[in-house]
Amino acid sequence: MHFDLADEQRMVQETARRFALEEIAPTLAEEERAHAFKPERVAKMGELGFFGCALPDDLGGNGLGFFESVLMAEQVAKVSASWRLPFNMQNLGPALTVAKFGTAAQKAKYIPGWVAGTQLGFFAMTEPNTGSDVASMKTHAIDKGDHWEVHGSKMWISQAHVGHAGLLYAYTDRSAGNRGITAFIIEPKTWAGVSARPIETKLGLHCAPTGEFVFDGMKVPKENVLGQPGEGFRICMWQLNQTRLGCAAGALGVAGGALDLAIDYANGRTQFGKPIAQHQMIQAQIADMVVEHQAAQMLVYRAAWLKDQGRPSQYETSVAKLAASEAAVHAANECMKIFGSYGYSTEYPAERFYRDAKSLQIVEGTSNIQRIIISGMATGATPNRE
């Protein structure tokens, strides 16, 4: 196997690193306190090509693939896990899914704005009583002849109340089970019958807007069905296999950021007459963080490489997401302990890494769900898919 990055990949990685350090880091503490989200920063990310990965040229693709997307998301998440979210909300979620399943008209109308970062995206599947069990959703759409009428609610949706256009999953035929779920492209800011409000009671990801939708007869034009009616569950599972990789990349960033922070602090903090980095207990903590981070990194990079080859990757993506998210939580926890009392203070980033890391065990399929997927494929009960 070849482990060196090509010159272009190093340039992409460096561009994202510089962006995070120069555009996000200087004001991050203030923005975190204010729970501030800056749409103009998403547009800047779009200008830099962050959201054109794995898309054809005629749809705004930049010639880069999943691997480069991972490299960029990882660097951004090392500074801010919140600002890793747009990679999923713009590119790996809506844009890639519409590129694969959408009509020519849908692609032309929606993908350019998502890629440019000027049209904020989202994907809505989670509900108050529907998380891991996607097929238990209650939101439904009624066929009204020339349009669908949507009723129900979604919550914990990233960019819900700021989003311009995104994906909605709802039942159109409940008697058909998960084969009765349909995917729609919706425009909540301009359509009647839908309201959105923010959710601000979150442990972490304070600069990543999260909200809920309430649908009360929202009319969706027939031309906004993505794929065919009844294909929504299949489309949703395909989409999750792509956005799951973005979460894994974010977890790498959080783990790497926490590791760098812990090493820097351990080298500078003196106790018992020497830097704490020279105490064996601290050395053991750092060594474990390094091993877990590097192992997760290889798994995430492999999953991205498989996607770029067009090969089945659901198995490898779930392995990568599980390993990386668990490594991120462990690294953030150890970083906080190495900082001691200062780790508990909002004066230092250690506590933010700790809060942000926990989300990665939940989003795009919890760690328990990843274990179910992995074990099913490992035992041959289910096939590996694209």
Strands 274-275 and 270-271: antiparallel
3-class secondary structure, 188 = coil
The CA distances from residue 356 to 307, 332, 364, in Å, are: 27, 9, 15
Q: Please spell the DSSP secondary structure of 35-82, one letter per residue.
A: T---HHHHHHHHHTTTT-TTS-GGGT--S--HHHHHHHHHHHHHH-SG
Q: How far apart are CA 377 and CA 113, in angstroms?
A: 37
End-to-end CA distance of the chain: 22
3-state secondary structure of 145: coil
Query: Which three-class secondary structure state does DSSP give residue 385?
Result: coil
Q: Which of 19, 159, 158 is nearest to 76 (CA)?
A: 19
Residue 134: closest CA among 325, 366, 361: 366
**Could you identify the residue written with the tokens 């998380």?**
131
C-beta neighbour count of 103 within 10 angstroms: 14
Compute the distance between CA of residue 111 and CA of residue 95 in angstroms, rounded to an integer: 5
C-alpha span between 182 and 172 (Å, rounded): 6
**CA-based nearest residue to 107, from 97, 120, 122:** 97
Q: Is 8 an active-site residue?
A: no
What tokens appear for 358 in the block?
Answer: 């926990």
Q: Please, what sign has the CA dihedral across residues 127, 82, 318, 328?
A: negative
Q: Say which of 149, 292, 364, 386 is annotated catalytic.
A: 364
* Secondary structure of residue 367 in the 3-state scheme: helix
Structure tokens at 51: 């959201």
Helix (H, G, I), strand (E, B) or coil at 244: helix
> Which residues have a catalytic role annotated?
364
